[in-house]
Amino acid sequence: MKVRDKTAKRRFGSAERDMIALGIAIASVILFVGTGGSLMPKIVRSWMGLGGAPDLALTNAVLLNIALLIFGWRRYNELHREVAERRRAEEKARELAEIDPLTGCLNRRSGSPAIEHLHEKATKSHREVAVFMIDLDNFKQINDLNGHQMGDRVLAAISRRIRDLLPAEGLIARIGGDEFVCALPYESTRRERIEDFAAQIIKAVSAPIEANKMIVESTVSVGIATTAEANIAQSASLADTLIHRADIAMYHAKKNGRNRFFWFETQMEDELRFRNELESGIRRGIPAGEFVPFYEQQIDLETGELVGFEMLARWNSPRYGLISPEVFIPIAEDIDLISELSECLIRQALRDAREWDPRLTLSVNISPLQLRDPWFAQKLLHLLLESGFPANRLEIEITESCLHENIGAVRSIVSSLKNQGIRVSLDDFGTGYSSLYQLRSLPFDRLKIDRSFVAEITREGGDSGLVEAMVSLGKGLALPVTAEGIESPEVLNALKGMGKLKGQGYLYGQPENADATRMRLAELKMLANEEAKPATSSKKPTSQRKAG
């Protein structure tokens, strides 16, 4: 309070002084004009010896007047400087409050008011405003692999590229770590201009960025929302609604493969709401035990024997019923819960599998994200020790898409799994782009041919050449092969002719929960405490029992 008083006093003091200085200056000018005008020539003539000296008092008064004028002029200059300095300080403060120091873009706080302002201007000229939400696709990876300094450089470079594309009236704000918002006015009949702009951003960003003698590549996903959309006028804050909608559309672009743009559509909002419900459902469902393992039979195609099971996760959601892993695994990956979820499923599966015939194996799928965890092999070992399940009966399935990730990290995890006696197979083979070099250099134990190729075998116009080629590749690399997705006896027969394979598919039954699996094994006398008997194909009749 005291400080504020002091400042106020200081300000008042200087204002008072300024008023006095102004008064003195005006008075001196009036005096100078009044007396100096007639007296100055006399004084000058007297100094030159051309006339008599004017009245001394008047001369002194004029000289004093001149001194006052000089004083007033100096004060004026000082004031001018002070005002300029204050303006600079205010400008700096505004900049700090409104501008992102790293990229020079507007910041989160100033972005929305700037969009509102742009909209006001656009409305006057009967134009619409388009808002673009731009999010980097791999920023976390750039930061993790190259450090935050490199991350900062990438952000600065990308913002520069986008700014270069912006028309004069457009604006750009950085509203999050790697999120930018652009806004620009456009004629409602020229929607294609907006698409062009989005496409240009995507292209410009994708060019390699060179910094610190390194080259980094990045892509962006873009969402677009405009004031031309329905219901937009009713929203409380137009800018915030536009940003929110563009964000939803951007999220859609991410979900649909990234490095692309999407226009906002109203049903996207419902999808997002559903997705949020699923996210919170997963968070609640893990500790509540809603995620359960199902088991799909794996058969030796030559002998027809049941040789093991693949564990396939299911979510028994109280709200939506049984949900497929294809729905919840990607979400669990996005919200960083995949390791927790996977551990809880594997723990249950190992407990279930302990009751099975010791000749049966258990395969489990793992997410590429788990391969980034340097402790993954240790965690798995811990689960094995905890359950007492032998490592050599466990098989880990890694999808082919994992091989695009850091191949060195994949190799070291695969090697440490193998050192523990765990087998590793390459799942969905044929759907990714693994090179022969990768196949040879990674110590896999098995290839699993993706079901899309297997289904081709007997489809009309389809052909079995690809599957045959994959089987021979497996032979060449000395890797046993499993064919997935066997749905019909015709496919089974075709596969049998190709050599010694394992297989799985709905022909043998749908995946079943732990109880149904135990019952199936009891019928086949293949439970751990049963007397070991040769296993036979379990194709009928229990295979028709509905899972769950």
Instruction: Give the span between the Cα atoms of 128 and 88, in whole angstroms.
Output: 35
Three-point CA angle 220, 100, 138, nearest 5°: 25
Residue 280 phi/psi, 5° resolution? Answer: -70, -30
The interface partner of residue 424, options being Mg ion, ligand C2E, none and the CB cut-off 5 to 8 Å by kind, is none
Instruction: Give the span between the Cα atoms of 430 and 452, in whole angstroms.
Output: 9
Member of 270, 326, 336, 531 binding ligand C2E (CB under 6 A): 326
Q: Between 357 and 484, whose beta carbon lies closer to ligand C2E?
A: 484
The interface partner of residue 511, options being Mg ion, ligand C2E, none and the CB cut-off 5 to 8 Å by kind, is ligand C2E
Instruction: Give the span between the Cα atoms of 83 and 143, in whole angstroms.
Output: 44
The interface partner of residue 312, options being ligand C2E, Mg ion, none and the CB cut-off 5 to 8 Å by kind, is ligand C2E
Q: Between 357 and 397, whose beta carbon lies closer to Mg ion?
A: 397
Question: Residue-wise over 493-504: b if at least 16 C-beta within 10 A, else e?
Answer: ebbeebeebbbb
What's the distance, Cα to Cα, between the start and end of the chain in Å? Answer: 72
CB 339 to Mg ion: min, Å: 18
Binding-site string for Mg ion from residue 464 to residue 503, where x marks contact by CB under 5 A and - marks none = --------------------x-------------------
345 is an interface residue for ligand C2E by CB under 6 A: yes
427 is an interface residue for Mg ion by CB under 5 A: yes
The interface partner of residue 505, options being Mg ion, ligand C2E, none and the CB cut-off 5 to 8 Å by kind, is ligand C2E
Member of 511, 517, 526, 535 binding ligand C2E (CB under 6 A): 511
Member of 128, 305, 352, 428 binding ligand C2E (CB under 6 A): 428
352 is an interface residue for ligand C2E by CB under 6 A: no
Q: Which tokens belong to 534?
A: 């040769």
Ranked by CB distance to ligand C2E, the top (closest) residue is 505
Which amino acid would we find at residue 400? E
Which amino acid would we find at residue 72? G
CB 419 to ligand C2E: min, Å: 22
What CA dihedral angle connects 184, 189, 195 and 196, to 10 degrees? -80
Instruction: Give the span between the Cα atoms of 61 and 192, in whole angstroms.
Output: 77
Member of 129, 428, 454, 524 binding Mg ion (CB under 5 A): 428
Sheet holding 171-176, edge to edge: 171-176, 179-186, 128-136, 220-226, 261-263
Reported residue count of the chain is 548
The interface partner of residue 325, options being Mg ion, ligand C2E, none and the CB cut-off 5 to 8 Å by kind, is ligand C2E
Per DSSP, which regions of 334-393 are E strands? Answer: 361-366
Q: Between 35 and 431, whose beta carbon lies closer to ligand C2E?
A: 431
Member of 221, 298, 365, 434 binding ligand C2E (CB under 6 A): 365
CB 434 to ligand C2E: min, Å: 15
Instruction: Give the span between the Cα atoms of 478 and 44, in whole angstroms.
Output: 116
By CB under 6 A, what part of segment 91-130 binds ligand C2E? none
Instruction: Kindly write down the DSSP assignment for every residue of 125-163, as one continuous string.
Output: TT-EEEEEEEEESSHHHHHHHH-HHHHHHHHHHHHHHHH
**DSSP code for 457:** T
324 is an interface residue for ligand C2E by CB under 6 A: yes
# residues near ligand C2E by CB under 6 A: 24
The interface partner of residue 179, options being ligand C2E, Mg ion, none and the CB cut-off 5 to 8 Å by kind, is none
Residue 488 phi/psi, 5° resolution? Answer: -135, 155
329 is an interface residue for ligand C2E by CB under 6 A: yes
* CA neighbours closer than 13 Å in the CB half-sphere of residue 101: 5
Q: Which tokens belong to 316?
A: 């028994």
In the numeric block, the tokens 């935050």 are attached to: 148
362 contacts: CB under 8 Å, gap ≥ 6? 308, 309, 311, 349, 350, 353, 356, 389, 393, 394, 395
Q: Between 114 and 286, whose beta carbon lies closer to ligand C2E?
A: 286
# residues near Mg ion by CB under 5 A: 5
395 is an interface residue for Mg ion by CB under 5 A: no
Cα Dmax for the chain: 144
The region of 120-128, 255-263, 274-282, 498-506 touching ligand C2E under the rule CB under 6 A is: 498-506
The region of 9-17, 138-146, 261-269, 425-433 touching Mg ion under the rule CB under 5 A is: 425-433
151 is an interface residue for ligand C2E by CB under 6 A: no
Q: Which tokens belong to 363?
A: 């395969």
The region of 266-274, 373-381, 394-402, 489-497 touching Mg ion under the rule CB under 5 A is: 394-402
Residues forming the site for ligand C2E (CB under 6 A)? 296, 312-313, 324-326, 329, 342, 345, 365-367, 397, 427-428, 451, 484-487, 504-506, 511
Residues forming the site for Mg ion (CB under 5 A)? 365, 397, 427-428, 484
